[in-house]
């Protein structure tokens, strides 16, 4: 029989592993683990064993997410995308509509998925509970739990638009009720993805505030999130932040600053990503909402471009940003406003998409080419 000290260490390791996989992403797992070590008065050699376990956990359980768009005529099959993600420690996926082939392909993959309602579906869902019920039945219940759907996102930056914004809140309530009818309210959270247009740019994160044009709508939206334990979903792109304010250093946007760049109410910022995320936290706090977590549904850097963006949209910059973002997220460092809190982040995008419209950069956000080779070297592990 094993000595009692070894048994105790193994038991604590098992408990920590269970905690690591059961605690929600917005909790401070590090604090829980440290408390276990402290409260059990572990010997030095026992701590060494436990920290080796923690390294293992960080490598195999802490994963980045990706967006998988379909604006291409040469993209891999969903089954090939699943294998590619699993082989590269990518554990989360966001899709922009409920694609049956994709939802079926991810069966038993363990990959967590955000399923999106398209902007064009919002009006019908907002005006009819029956339509919302059918959408949930056809696109969620038909695949869950074999397909690990974690979130439903209503619309793509729809709340800030005059065309779709008025439909979002009613659609949220109808989908939420449909989820409750299916008894999935404790398993799947409902939210909506927002862009940078809802919060005017601010150099100091503490000054973040929602624009007057969406403030009333946003207050109702945040109340919905708080009532249902849902996260605020945001697209966070330092690439665009830098283009809109070139007084910011490129190193600050790329996580390359070696010294504090912004000092704000006692907090120190050395990268633009954290500053943009904390600006959102400040905007929510200004409306009285202090405990809503953020899921970054999109962030990335293009590897090629033309015109005014060509000097910034380079292979070197994309490689630097993506690798530094992944390292930052998987370190669970959090942000200056939320230190030590892990964050879910979905990189845009899994593949280059040759049919994307708009600026040339839009076709070069992918981590992989459609032939499944990396666009540039990426380390998907901590």
Query: Which two structure tokens, joined as six digits, stand for 79?
Result: 């089954």
- Give 262's Cβ-side CA count (13 Å radius): 25
d(CA 215, CA 287): 9
- For residue 336, the model assigns a pLDDT of 98
Contact present, 222 and 231 (Cβ < 8 Å): no
Q: Could you give the maximum distance between any two Cα atoms of the chain, in Å? A: 71
Q: Is the dihedral of CA 206, 332, 319, 150 positive or negative?
A: negative
d(CA 237, CA 159): 18
| pLDDT tens readout for residues 221-252 | 999 999 999 999 999 999 999 999 988 999 99
Contact present, 122 and 170 (Cβ < 8 Å): no
Residue 43 has pLDDT above 70, yes or no: no
Contact present, 123 and 156 (Cβ < 8 Å): no
Mean pLDDT over the full length of the chain: 89
Domain residue spans in the chain?
Answer: 27-58, 66-363
Q: Which of 348, 341, 370, 272 is nearest to 90 (CA)?
A: 348
d(CA 191, CA 152): 6
- For residue 22, the model assigns a pLDDT of 41
Grade residue 45 by pLDDT with cuts at 50, 70 and 90: low
| pLDDT tens readout for residues 344-371 | 999 999 999 999 999 999 999 999 999 9
- For residue 4, the model assigns a pLDDT of 59
Q: Which CATH superfamily is domain 66-363 in?
A: Glycosidases (3.20.20.80)
Neighbours of 378 (CB within 10 A): 18
Residue 26 has pLDDT above 60, yes or no: no
Conformation bin of residue 226: beta by default, left when phi > 0, alpha when psi is -120 to 50: alpha
Query: Which two structure tokens, joined as six digits, stand for 74?
Result: 């040469």
Grade residue 61 by pLDDT with cuts at 50, 70 and 90: low
Q: Read off the pLDDT of each residue in 331-356 and give the average, rounded to a whole number.
A: 97
Report the residue count for the chain: 382
Grade residue 158 by pLDDT with cuts at 50, 70 and 90: very high
| pLDDT tens readout for residues 252-300 | 999 999 888 999 999 999 999 999 999 999 999 999 999 999 999 999 9
Residue 25 has pLDDT above 60, yes or no: no
Specify the higher pLDDT residue, 7 or 333: 333
| pLDDT tens readout for residues 165-186 | 999 999 999 999 999 999 999 9
Query: Which two structure tokens, joined as six digits, stand for 131?
Result: 């339509």
CA angle 105-108-109, nearest 5°? 70
Strands 267-269 and 262-264, bridge-based pairing: antiparallel
Sequence-distant (6+) residues with CB within 8 A of 323 are 377, 378, 379
- For residue 32, the model assigns a pLDDT of 45
Task: Please provide the DSSP assignment of 357-382 as one string.
Answer: -SSGGGG---SB-TTS-BSS------
d(CA 196, CA 240): 9
d(CA 192, CA 125): 14
45 forms beta bridges with none
- For residue 5, the model assigns a pLDDT of 57
Query: Which two structure tokens, joined as six digits, stand for 2?
Result: 């094993």
- For residue 30, the model assigns a pLDDT of 43
d(CA 198, CA 215): 8
Specify the higher pLDDT residue, 382 or 377: 377
């Amino acid at each position: 029989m094993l000595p009692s000290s070894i048994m105790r260490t193994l038991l604590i390791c098992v408990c920590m592993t269970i905690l690591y996989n059961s605690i929600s992403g917005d909790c401070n797992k590090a604090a829980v683990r440290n408390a276990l070590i402290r409260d059990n008065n572990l010997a030095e050699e026992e701590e060494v064993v436990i920290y080796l376990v923690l390294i293992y956990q960080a490598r195999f359980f802490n994963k980045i997410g990706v967006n998988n768009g379909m604006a291409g005529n040469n993209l891999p099959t969903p089954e090939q995308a699943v294998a590619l993600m699993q082989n590269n420690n990518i554990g989360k996926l966001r899709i922009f509509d409920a694609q049956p082939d994709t939802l079926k392909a991810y069966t038993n993959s363990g990959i967590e998925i955000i399923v999106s309602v398209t902007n064009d579906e919002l009006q019908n869902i907002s005006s009819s509970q029956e339509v919302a019920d059918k959408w949930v039945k056809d696109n969620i219940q038909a695949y869950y739990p074999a397909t690990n759907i974690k979130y439903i996102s209503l619309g793509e930056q729809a709340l800030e638009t005059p065309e779709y914004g008025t439909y979002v809140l009613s659609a949220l309530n109808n989908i939420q009720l449909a989820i409750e009818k299916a008894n999935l309210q404790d398993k799947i959270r409902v939210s909506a993805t927002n862009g940078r247009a809802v919060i005017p740019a601010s150099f100091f994160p503490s000054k973040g505030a929602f624009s007057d044009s969406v403030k009333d709508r946003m207050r109702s939206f945040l109340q919905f999130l708080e009532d249902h334990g849902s996260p605020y979903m945001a697209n966070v792109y330092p690439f665009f932040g830098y283009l809109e304010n070139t007084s910011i250093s490129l190193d600050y946007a790329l996580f390359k600053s070696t010294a504090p760049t912004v000092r704000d109410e006692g907090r120190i910022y050395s990268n633009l990503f954290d500053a943009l995320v904390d600006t959102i936290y400040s905007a929510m706090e200004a409306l009285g909402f202090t405990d809503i977590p953020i899921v970054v549904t999109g962030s990335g850097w293009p590897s090629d471009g033309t015109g005014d963006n060509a000097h910034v949209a380079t292979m070197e910059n994309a490689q630097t940003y993506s690798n530094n973002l992944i390292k930052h997220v998987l370190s669970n460092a959090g942000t200056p406003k939320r230190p030590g809190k892990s964050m879910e982040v979905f990189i845009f995008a899994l593949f280059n998409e040759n049919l994307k419209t708009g600026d040339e950069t839009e076709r070069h956000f992918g981590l992989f080419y459609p032939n499944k080779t990396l666009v540039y070297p990426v380390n998907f592990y901590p």
